[in-house]
Amino acid sequence: MNKITGLIAATFAAYHEDGAVNLEIIPAIVEKMIADGLSGVFICGTNGEGPNLTIEERMAIAEAYVKAAGKRILVLVHVGHSSIAECRKLAAHAEKIGADAISSVAAFYFKPGSVSNLVKSMAQIASAAPNTPFYYYNIPALTGVAMDMIEFLRQAEKQIPTLAGIKYTAATLHEYHACVNYKNGKFDILFGYDEMLLPALAVGAKGAIGSTYTFAAPLYLKVMKLYEEGMSEEAAATQLHAVNMVRCLVKYPPIPAQRAIMKMEGFELGTCRLPLEPLNEKETADFKASLEEIDFFNVVKESRQLID
């Protein structure tokens, strides 16, 4: 697989009223992602509540996305789990159904204690899907595993034949910069902090994966377009709209708040699973008012017109 350019949306899990996974809504989500100009979807990750789902549910979701995408956009399947044996089942399944890539976080209960241990773990997972590109999902804020990613690349390139790169969800831009330039850009280092997309572009990012791309992709695609055209001030002004939105968002639990935005945009995803809890009515109303105060929905709509 060639390096990924553009934006990959980290999509959200959807549930019926009885708590069962809603697979029926997935084609509509995929069509929205395509219409919004995204390059692909990243499924069953943090925002997709992968750790909250059974592996049978994760497999069913992966199948639904691969079928709905029909190779029109990329489908990256997160296969991370606290059990490497379960990771391997998910990885093998993703390859069997034709996913474009797989990705895994580090084990988050019994954590790897060194880079070599992390690489050994990821190699075991990746080997279950020997023909599918593998991305290590670096998200130390959630896993508690913060390793030297250059050292990871050094060791992993020798042990993981399918290593495509890293999903880099950390604010350490200097290390991200180093990873992008490792061996003249050998690996695909996809940036994962949406509110820092512009600074990441400045140090060489070409592709990014993020949750807010699910509902605000046109805004970020406009940032990328302006940056590519050398209009740095305009790009910064546009990125600020995303920053202001995230500042509203982080006053609430981030996944439930983003699910609330999806509902505002007409996508009823149901109630997230415990320990996550949805925003209550007052929180939703206050949150919506704060987004309207910064004219967020109109900014996204206007950005879409520019991209179209």
CATH number of the domain bearing residue 162: 3.20.20.70
Q: What is the pLDDT of residue 138?
A: 97
What percentage of the chain carries pLDDT values higher than 70?
99
Q: Is residue 251 a part of any domain in this protein?
A: no
Say yes or no to pLDDT of 202 above 80.
yes
Residue 77 in contact with residue 51, Cβ under 8 Å? Answer: no
Amino acid at the residue 122: M
Domain containing 181: what range?
6-225
CA distance 15 to 33: 19
10 bridge partner residues: 42
Q: Is residue 285 a part of any domain in this protein?
A: no
Planar angle of CA 126, 5, 306, nearest 5 degrees? 145
Q: Which residues are annotated as a binding site for pyruvate?
A: 209
Please classify residue 307 by burial: count the beta carbons closer than 10 Å to its beta carbon, then call 0-12 exposed, 13-18 middle and 19+ buried: middle
- Count other Cβ atoms within 10 Å, centred on residue 67: 15
Q: What is the pLDDT of residue 307?
A: 65
- Hey, which residues are catalytic here? 137, 167
pLDDT bucket at 198, cuts 50 / 70 / 90? very high
The predicted model gives 263-276 an average pLDDT of 95
Q: Is residue 276 a part of any domain in this protein?
A: no
Show the tokens assigned to 274. Answer: 């415990």
Say yes or no to pLDDT of 305 above 90.
no
Q: Is residue 174 a part of any domain in this protein?
A: yes
Q: Is residue 230 a part of any domain in this protein?
A: no
Residues 6+ away with beta carbon under 8 Å from 96 = none
Q: Which residues are annotated as a binding site?
A: 209
CA distance 177 to 184: 12
Q: What is the pLDDT of residue 308?
A: 65
pLDDT bucket at 163, cuts 50 / 70 / 90? very high
- Count other Cβ atoms within 10 Å, centred on residue 225: 16
40 bridge partner residues: 8, 74
Whose tokens are 């949150």? That residue is 287
Q: What is the pLDDT of residue 232?
A: 94
Q: Is residue 268 a part of any domain in this protein?
A: no
Q: Is residue 123 a part of any domain in this protein?
A: yes
Q: Is residue 178 a part of any domain in this protein?
A: yes
CA distance 41 to 69: 9
Number of domains in the chain: 1
Residues 6+ away with beta carbon under 8 Å from 205 = 176, 180, 189, 190, 191, 197
Q: What is the pLDDT of residue 281?
A: 95
Q: What is the pTM of this model?
A: 0.96
